[in-house]
Amino acid sequence: MSEDVTVRQDGNVLVIALSRTEKRNALTASMYAKLAESFQDAEACNSVHSILLRGNGGVFTSGNDIGLFLDQDAEEPHEPAAASFIRAVISLSKPLVACVRGHAVGIGATVLLHCDYVVASDDARLRFPFVDLGLCPEFASTLVLERIVGRNKATEWMLLGASIPAGEARFAGLVNQVMPAELAEEEALSVAQRLASKPQMALRATRALLRQGWNDSLAARIDRESAVFDALRRTPEAQQIFRRFLDRTPQAILTHV
Ligand code: COA
């Protein structure tokens, strides 16, 4: 199992940290597997009341390891490993807090849409880079982002793919709090602990009510996006973009605006 994801329990909070810092916590298949297993364990464990997801090295995550898009067998469906991670997140009945420092790109931004509370450091930047990669957004993000920030912002962020400063994400409603970097981790843990200390049946029932009617539309949108994503991933246009990034070709279009 991947050592690039670390898990520890702090009281009733399970703290899951991404720790592949030399690659800006880019997510590999084994990291997705460990994440999926950790979230499933958190759900099953009675002493875990809330979960905190964070990244080491001053970065949340640079998203899917772009090498995976090239390596993957052309016949394989879209990112089964990534799907198992996001499905484990969506299936949680317990609250999930994210602490975002530095970059949250691709699936790193997508997962925030499924969190209950997001604390970002003032140097954090979010990005939905899918169009620039020759891909489309994933895991119901076209549905949830539009619900959270409205049609105009969702369109701007997803089509232009610009890097979104934490303050703008907070103003738009995607981030709950923006803190100085040195305080963000402490604040995120404190929020997770406050959630963990609440009457658990009432907390989970309220959370479920807030998400009522959501799951069917989420599942349908995930399937639709996955089909489009999978077709796009195999196009020469996208494959060339992935190669350029990995080869560090100067005109690689993944420049962060
Ligand atoms: N997949 C694979 N490798 C990645 C990666 C990713 N998503 N993100 C970063 N890396 C690697 C780089 O190739 C580099 O490897 P090297 O040191 O062996 O050359 C290393 O991580 C450091 O990356 P670098 O770009 O130098 O760091 P930075 O701090 O200047 O920029 C980012 C950080 C996140 C802005 C930038 O790496 C980036 O844009 N990454 C791609 C993000 C992306 O599009 N992800 C979406 C996938 S769906």
**Ligand 1 site, residue 105, Cβ cutoff 6 A:** yes
pLDDT of residue 216: 79
Virtual torsion, Cα 75, 77, 80, 82, nearest 10 deg: 110
pLDDT of residue 196: 98
Query: Is 105 inside a domain boundary?
Result: yes
Range of the domain at 11: 2-180+202-252
pLDDT of residue 5: 98
**Ligand 1 site, residue 254, Cβ cutoff 6 A:** yes
**Sign, Cα dihedral of 15, 21, 27, 32:** negative
**Ligand 1 site, residue 95, Cβ cutoff 6 A:** no
pLDDT of residue 257: 40
Helix (H, G, I), strand (E, B) or coil at 11: coil
**Ligand 1 site, residue 87, Cβ cutoff 6 A:** no
For ligand 1, the distance from its centroid to the CA atom of residue 138, given in whole angstroms, is 19
pLDDT of residue 75: 55
Query: Is 191 inside a domain boundary?
Result: no
pLDDT of residue 256: 46
Question: Quick one: which of 120, 79, 22 has its CA closest to 222?
Answer: 79
Domain count, the chain: 1
Residue 77, both tokens: 């469906």
Give the residue whose CA is nearest to atom 1 of ligand 1: 65
pLDDT of residue 70: 82
**Ligand 1 site, residue 110, Cβ cutoff 6 A:** no
For ligand 1, the distance from its centroid to the CA atom of residue 257, given in whole angstroms, is 14
The CATH number covering residue 91 comes to 3.90.226.10
Strand partners, 125: 103, 165
End-to-end CA distance of the chain: 35
For ligand 1, the distance from its centroid to the CA atom of residue 99, given in whole angstroms, is 20
The pTM for the full model equals 0.94
**Ligand 1 site, residue 129, Cβ cutoff 6 A:** yes
Instruction: Mark the ranges of the chain whose per-residue pLDDT is less than 70.
Output: 1, 71-79, 250-257
For ligand 1, the distance from its centroid to the CA atom of residue 31, given in whole angstroms, is 16
pLDDT of residue 254: 56
pLDDT of residue 1: 63
For ligand 1, the distance from its centroid to the CA atom of residue 23, given in whole angstroms, is 6
Q: Which of 62, 72, 105, 247 to mutate to test the pocket of ligand 1 (most atoms within 8 A of CB)?
A: 62
**Ligand 1 site, residue 256, Cβ cutoff 6 A:** yes
pLDDT of residue 80: 81
Listing DSSP states for 172-207 in one string gives HTS-SEEE-HHHHHHHHHHHHHHHHTS-HHHHHHHH
Which ligand 1 atom is at minimum distance from the Cα of 107? 48
**Ligand 1 site, residue 176, Cβ cutoff 6 A:** no
Query: Is 115 inside a domain boundary?
Result: yes
Which ligand 1 atom is at minimum distance from the Cα of 62? 34
